[in-house]
Amino acid sequence: MDKNRIKYLRSLHQKKFRQENSEFLVEGNKLVNELMHADFEIKNVYAVNAEELDRGSIEVEHITPKELDRISTLKNPNNAIALATIPEPRMPDMDTIANNLSLVLENIQYPGNMGTILRLANWYGIQHIFCNAETVECFNPKVVQSSMGALYRVKVHYTDIYRLVEEATNLPDFGIYATHLEGQNLYETSLSSNGLIIIGNESQGLSDKISSMAVQKIKIPSYPPEDTGMESLNVAIATAVTVSEFRRRTME
């Protein structure tokens, strides 16, 4: 592989260059295999051993372990790396939003949390996640890695979440909820099957801006409900427990 190509692929470790070029990297046999069956445009697939991939008709270019090491974002690269186009998912219309349960992320910072949220959203059949621009970019290599392929199935939209929440306020049979330490007990709150669940920043929680909008604040009660010494749950954990309760009620 020529030096400029390696340099280009390495540049995609950085958000700036991913956005400039609308391309991102996917690593490891498992994720690359899944990518080849997903609805993404693949530019190149590189592998040390092409036989380890179920590549179908896709051409796999041979690279040396040393080249893999140079391109990879991982400490222990795993055979394959693919270059794919960053899709621009079309914003769903208000009708679609009105008939689904979706997530809204405000200022989520850590790639590991974002990846875990994507994975649980996929598990719980959430199709759309709306993020403000300050939320970590979902094509960050650590998000791609920790989402375990959920990124291929859940659509992530970077958009004006405040306008979205505003517009959703008047939808019928639709709830707008936000996890909040001062909220109402999740288990004692009536939950709509369709709605938005807003998740705030890891250490700051919700912004005043979104907090002051017409959202219903809910809290996951600790056990016992008195002081446990902990201030909060991890943000992905809180999201999972909340979404899980929404789905449990629907399945009842």
The contact set with its own copies (CB under 8 A) reads: 112, 116, 119-120, 122-125, 148-150, 152-153, 187, 220-225, 228-234, 236-237, 240-241, 244-245, 247-248, 250-252
Q: What is the DSSP string of the chain?
A: --HHHHHHHHHTTSHHHHHHHTEEEEESHHHHHHHHTSSS-EEEEEES-GGGS--TT--EEE--HHHHHHH-SSSS--SEEEEEEPP-PPPPPHHHHHTSEEEEESS---HHHHHHHHHHHHHTT--EEEE-TTSPPTTSHHHHHHTTTGGGTSEEEES-HHHHHHHHTT-TT-EEEEEEEEEEEGGGS---SSEEEEE-BTTTBS-HHHHTSS-EEEE---SSSS--S-----HHHHHHHHHHHHHHHHH-
CB of 173 to its own copies, least distance (A): 18
Nearer to its own copies, 11 or 244 (CB): 244
Nearer to its own copies, 43 or 248 (CB): 248
CB of 1 to its own copies, least distance (A): 30
CB of 157 to its own copies, least distance (A): 19
If you count DSSP H runs as helices and E runs as strands, how many of each does the chain have, helices first?
10, 10
CB of 117 to its own copies, least distance (A): 9
Nearer to its own copies, 58 or 148 (CB): 148
CB of 118 to its own copies, least distance (A): 10
Nearer to its own copies, 212 or 230 (CB): 230
Which amino acid is located at 64 in the chain?
T
Nearer to its own copies, 124 or 162 (CB): 124
Dihedral (CA of 199, 204, 210, 216) sign? positive
CB of 2 to its own copies, least distance (A): 33
Nearer to its own copies, 5 or 247 (CB): 247
